[in-house]
Amino acid sequence: MNAERNGTQVRPPADFIRRRIAADVAAGRNAGRVVTRFPPEPNGYLHIGHAKSICLNFGIAREFNGVCHLRMDDTNPITEEQEYIAAIKRDVKWLGYDWGQRFHHASDYFEQMYNYAETLIQRGLAYVCELSPEEWKEYRGVPERPGRESPYRNRPPQENLRLFRRMRAGEFPDGAMVLRAKIDMASPNLHLRDPVLYRIIHSPHPHTGDRWCIYPTYDFAHPIEDSIEGITHSLCTLEFEVHRPLYDWILDQLQIHHPAQIEFARLNLSYTIMSKRRLQELVEGGYVKGWDDPRMPTIAGLRRRGYTPEAIRAFAERVGITKVESMSDIALLEHCIRDDLNRRAPRRLAVLEPLRLVIDNYPEDAVEEFSAVNNPEDHSAGTRPVPFSRELFIERNDFRLDPPKKFHRLAPGREVRLRYACIVRCTDVVRDPKSGDVTEIHCTFDPASRGGSAPDGRRIRGTIHWVSARHAVPIEVRLYDRLFTRPDPLDVEDGKTFLDYLNPDSLRTITAYAEPSLRNTVPPTVYQFERLGYFCADPDSSPERPVFNRTATLRDSWARLEKQAAR
Ligand code: ATP
Ligand code: MG
């Protein structure tokens, strides 16, 4: 399709939107220019669904040598906040995109929108209507039958103009009247049955102050915003498909630059929710600690959890762009972060549930250092020393009194390799006399196995991780699980709400023990704790108490559980 640019091969357009844009460019439409936009309403933090739209709009601009605008769709005066605007900018930048000088507010165009509304009135294409909201709904009717015309529909343009100006001047209370387009009350598309263009809202606006008491509807404002900014392709989610005839009608009647609206399926993700309104409920209800709680599907939450922009962009590419509503599996997102971190995350040793291991034939006060590989996927990352001494912590579940078949880790009488260090044999076990729980295990080590392998070549099947008890740094570890217990939390049973499906175990906080190099970690560094998963330093960390969020387990433990259950 579109071949080479700057000598580099451009990948063939992958989805129907890119194919369409490539065709437009090839046909010389818009003089071959591509201008897209990402237009969030600043009424909450961006979520992973928005990331899909950001990657699409900014990605297309990049691929087609175009530009992408970042526009605050702030036509609703009531819900917007500066905090959200700052968060939106931070998140788009962090994802790796740049809007340059093209940061806009829809509210900057209020005067122009108002003038366009007057134009429609003067041409007899809009009228001031005094039906109450209930009457308006009833007159509009249902798709199968034509609606009824408002008794105000045939007011002369001059009278409409006078009334509209008085609406602007603040002479009427909220809801007293609206401005409606005069289109077709018999259209099977309800959005064309004289839709509302302006309503009275006596409320100051965060950006325009108290300059306005009438505000345009989304349907009227959006095509005009796109047109003013010279957008060529206005990409939006499928629910706007039925609004497209109205988008086109407004621009056709005003005879101004006419972007093409193209719809694609929104991202839905299992075990979470994608609606800002509901996410806000979680924040305000105290169900999570904030918009950036690492359990949230927000970009800020994913960042704090340890997700990388690369992983999120890879995810957006993997889910692709289609016209069919579907639910993406959160396991795919988790796969993308594992894939990325496997390549980059430095390895460290940490023990989440410690069991004390004493090496009886190791001198009391001796300390030695073993050299541990920082990243087997990246040899340039080098090695680091880890201290070793007589008393260690190992993972409690790496020891079994009665090992089942195929358990190759530590058990009475058995040998195991301590990663990077040596081979030990379990000789004795100390148990709590009351509970019978193992509280300590005793081992001997084979001095000839320093470095990890047996000199006589005997086979050691298990390798476990450890930390030196006296050198270990206690760290707080926050273990996260899915936020909801069912794939679609909005698919609720009678009398329930999505809040009833919150996972009560979505956060478990423990004290773990880490090798000393983790003492001074700065967020957002992500490590792989060997054999355990990926863990990211949290901003709550202090030098006295490092805090880590579990970004992801090493493997998809849910898939494993589901497999086991199916057996
Ligand atoms: P929400 O329901 O979460 O509030 P919204 O669509 O109202 O979402 P906006 O701030 O208006 O949120 O959205 C900005 C842009 O992001 C729009 O172009 C919208 O189509 C897109 N978008 C929102 N949610 C998704 C999603 N789940 N998948 C893909 N794109 C999305
Ligand atoms: Mg919205």
> What per-residue confidence (pLDDT) applies to 80?
65
Instruction: Return the pLDDT at 523.
Output: 79
Q: Are residues 387 and 455 in the same domain?
A: yes
Same domain, 140 and 254: yes
Note whether 417 and 430 are same-domain residues.
yes
Q: What is the pLDDT of residue 502?
A: 98
Instruction: Give the closest residue (by CA) to ligand 1 atom 22.
Output: 50
pLDDT attached to residue 13: 52
Q: For 82-138, what is each residue's pLDDT tens digit?
A: 899 999 999 999 999 999 999 999 999 999 999 999 999 999 999 999 999 999 999
Cα–Cα–Cα angle for 190, 194, 196, rounded to 5 degrees: 100
Look at residue 158 and tell me if it is in a domain.
yes
Domain shared by 42 and 111, yes or no = yes
What is the atom index within ligand 1 of the atom nearest the CA of 266? 28
Give the range of the structural domain holding residue 370, as residue numbers without chain letter.
Answer: 350-465
Compute the distance between CA of residue 414 and CA of residue 398 in angstroms, rounded to an integer. Answer: 12
Q: Are residues 421 and 491 in the same domain?
A: no
Rounded Cα distance, 371 and 383, in Å: 6
What spatial distance separates the first Cα and last Cα of the chain, rounded to whole Å?
Answer: 49
369-400: pLDDT as tens digits: 999 999 999 999 999 999 999 999 999 999 99
Query: Does residue 2 lie within any of the structural domains?
Result: no
Q: Give the CATH number for residue 212.
A: 3.40.50.620
Task: Give, in degrees to the nearest 5, the angle at Cα 373 between 367 and 375.
Answer: 150
User: Does the beta carbon of 267 sit less than 6 angstroms from any atom of ligand 1?
Assistant: yes
pLDDT at position 10 = 53
User: Residues in the chain with pLDDT < 50?
Assistant: 1-8
| CATH number of the domain within which 490 lies | 2.40.240.10
CB 39 near ligand 1, within 6 Å? yes
User: 3-class DSSP state for residue 350?
Assistant: strand
Are residues 458 and 524 part of one domain?
no
Does 406 qualify as catalytic in the annotation? Answer: no
293 and 225 inside one domain: no
pLDDT in tens, 143-157: 999 999 999 999 999
Location of structure tokens 């297309």:
60
Assess whether 456 and 480 both reside in one domain: no
481 and 461 inside one domain: no
Active site residue 41: yes
Q: Dihedral angle at the C-alpha atoms of 342, 348, 352, 358, nearest 10 degrees?
A: 140
Q: Which of 41, 281, 440, 476 is catalytic?
A: 41
Q: Assess whether 221 and 165 both reside in one domain.
A: yes
The answer to whether the CB of 297 is under 6 A from ligand 1 is no
386 touches ligand 1 (CB under 6 Å): no
- 480 and 442 within one domain: no
CB-ligand 1 contact for 71 (6 Å cutoff): no
**Distance in Å, CA 204 to ligand 1 centroid:** 25
Reported as type and span, the H/E element at residue 524 is none
What pLDDT is recorded for position 1? 39
Long-range Cβ contacts of 409-412 (<8 Å, 24+ apart): 409/462, 409/464, 410/441, 410/462, 410/464
Strand order in the sheet with 350-351: 347-348, 526-529, 533-537, 547-553, 473-480, 507-514, 350-351
Q: How many CB atoms lie within 10 A of CB 511?
A: 12
Residue 269 falls within a domain, yes or no? no
- The rounded Å distance from CA 43 to ligand 2 centre is 8
Pocket test of ligand 1: the residue of 41, 237, 247, 328 to mutate, having most ligand atoms within 8 Å of its CB, is: 237
Q: What is the pTM of this model?
A: 0.93
Is 6 a member of any domain? no
